[in-house]
Structure 1
């Protein structure tokens, strides 16, 4: 089964370019904020689904910055933010933002976290009812900026250079490096670990970095051959998903349907086709 992004109204090329540039600017500014103004003794400001699903004051400040900038520059656009920022769209564009993707890494000082900003069309409250059309993901610790727009390819800016991205050319699952992640609920983690146990002898190796946005961008850059995870929200995957597809890859959900909170599976089409039946054989939720 294949699916197609539900792009009801694709913005004109010049608007797509403007949306991509704005996503880059916003992600970069928020990325600098969370690094430059990180408190010496950063603590947990709140928790969400479990005691290990944490929010820091910098998650809140980063989202407030993104919300303010979007209100100033795109007042008719909607917003969906991880930390509760939201407003309805009057323009057909909704910004889906993750102020810090990889908050646990950020809390512990591990340099694998990101700010993710994406402009989307469709209804972001409906699974499979929306699609990203422009987006950016920045890792402020490595100064890497991944970005893409619909039909414009995916790119990486780093050290003053820009490179066009392409997914891995790997077609052999047994030689593939596969990324994944784990949820915060203990029962769900046991199911996810069981799948890793089944998959580990079918692939080259498995990686768990702790940031879904960066994992998706790693697929787009060919640093991972494929990636799968259950439990992702729209803000975890929106910008990274576009990076993968504009880099020549595909992103699907269970049975090859639309990616959603049950499953996001990304990679070159050949590897995705091989991984779908493996992942489908075991529930992850």
Structure 2
């Protein structure tokens, strides 16, 4: 299917690896001019070079910024300019007992997981409405619907992301701008791999065994495996395209069947 995205511009936050990188690569494959982002200038430069090599002829740029720092985010927005497609992907996650999560950690999660999307949308959505076309896609999680007991702070911020996207979609009434959310399931991203590797090293066990044990603890997964980032990226690319014009204000699942509800 032709996604009709050739020549459009996109910004993908948190895109030097994992789901963000997969999204940037998928959009570039459709001819989208992509701006990448990460906290480290070195990683951003390496990701830009990698994507340019992967998709010769497609314009690729990069802007380093830490989304936990509002000043850096403001500078990023000033440098970014208008874009047609915003993919709000950057996020933190981690396992922690609820009683050990202090106020500073809650604030850090809200700054990155929620306020990143607030600030980017506030800056970029008005331009989309003025120009008459645009796409905003938030990357949330099934954890925002079924909040894990060992990641309450993560789940709460992902629930807030779903609510944010739903509210913003209502501001696009009668336009060709849409705002949607993707609920990803357990995905073998760079962050998850690092977490599983850390557990494996602590236990003196093979990474593959720990990975299988972790996903095996999830009693509702229908895939019975971690998703690949590209599987999330495929749905995001569709939502970012003109062919998804009838989908707005939705939270679509790419969760591998983890959620047991029908909607």
Identify whether the pair has TM-score above 0.5, normalized to the shorter chain: no
Report the structure, 1 or 2, having the larger helix content: 2
Higher strand share: 1
TM-score under structure 2 length normalisation: 0.29
